[in-house]
Structure 1
Amino acid sequence: MADKGNIYLIGPMGVGKTAVGKQLALKLGLEFFDADAEIARRTGVDIAYIFEKEGEAGFREREKNMIAELSALGRSVIATGGGAILDSGTRARLAATGTVIYLRTSIDEQVRRTAQTRKRPLLNTANPRAVLERLRAEREPLYDETADIRFDTTGHRVARVAAAIQKLLEERRALQK
């Protein structure tokens, strides 16, 4: 198990945080939570609706509160939303309460993986690639600064990524003993 309790998966949309998180939690015998899915479940509406009614700022406040609540549970794998790291308090909370894994992939792969859904409010635009490139430029330094482990998911199947991360976590734990 990881050194600080929780395992957080951070990174932009389309890198596989939810799919990898579910597999990793199974492998480690931990509970899995997707912060966005928890927000949607508890509010009874999807993220796009929250963006529409409350704007990005309203959603980010809900996201910050949800991550604070989930982080307090301990011994969980938690997939954060792509923008969760924008809040400095959330970044500090992640670092203090778990091991942070930054999943990344190529822009081409992000475009491919996100093309079939309208549930990504930031991509409901004529040029999703430009949005993904802009978000990467803005957020990548924060992902990198927050991460304990970095893993590129480009071209890898979910099971392979989860197994590789499990091995990295075990190696990290062994080094810390």
Structure 2
Amino acid sequence: MTKTAVNEQIYPPLIIFIGMMGAGKTTIGRALARELSIEFIDLDHEIVQRCGVAIPTIFDIEGEDGFRKRETAVLAEVIQQKNIVLATGGGAILATENQALLKKGLVVYLKASADELFCRIAKDSNRPLLKTENPQDKVKQLLAVRSPIYEKLADITVETGNQTIYATVKKLKKAIIALQENT
């Protein structure tokens, strides 16, 4: 993996955030990109921008399979860019093709407990997978299936519990620098 000098430090040219919905991928990703003075891209926002409709609408019309196909196509395109921080959707890791694409960058898994995740997203109506009778159980089910994949793909894992965004970004920068120095 090539490295890019940013703010007198060495960072990989593509930093990719993975993790469950509500883990903080967009918030922390945006903050890290700002700190590194590089572009931030949210994969879900890219999909919405290209389709012209919200993700729940895509799910309603095309189902999860249709959405996942769009997600893979946009990921394959976006992942070619350099000097970016990319936040993926929580389920982007499910497709084997996406897993291979994600390994083109430095993969950061933002980890949180099922209870913490549910507290963060409970009132968010833009989560089609949570439109079930028991959304809290659905979060636990999704986390149980996805956690092993997140762990396998991650170059760095960061807990996003109760620390501030600033503290998380600071911790993440140190972890990235340490990893880069050892490669």
Q: TM-score range by the shorter chain?
A: over 0.9
Structure 1 residues 110-166: Cα deviation after superposition (integer angstroms, max 9, x where no partner): 111001210000011221111011101111111111110011101122221112111
Map residues 62-101 of structure 1 onto 2, 5 A cutoff. Answer: 62-95=70-103, 97-101=104-108
Q: Which structure's residues are more often helix, by fraction?
A: 1
Contact 1:9 1:21 in 2 (8 A): yes
Contact kept, 8 Å, 1:2 with 1:98, in 2: the verdict is no
Query: Distance in 2 between the 1:108 and 1:137 partners?
Result: 13
After TM superposition, list the pairs within 5 Å mapping 1:21-170 onto structure 2: 21-95=29-103, 97-170=104-177
Asked if 2 retains the 8 angstrom alpha-carbon contact of 1:12 and 1:82, the reply is: yes
TM-score scaled by structure 1? 0.95
CA distance in 1, matches of 2:123, 2:167: 23
Distance 2:73 2:165 in 1: 28
In the alignment of these two chains, the number of paired residues is: 174
Does 1:16 pair with 2:30? Answer: no
Letter in 2 for 1:71: I
SS of residue paired to 1:9: strand
1:174 counterpart = 2:170: no
Structure 2: any 5+ residue segments left out of the alignment? 1-9
Q: Percent identity?
A: 41
Deviations 1:54-75 (A, max 9, x none): 0000000111111111100122
Give the 3-state SS of the residue equivalent to 1:163 in structure 2: helix
- Give the Cα separation in 2 of the matches to 1:154 and 1:94: 24
Does the 8 Å CA contact 1:18/1:34 hold for their aligned counterparts? yes
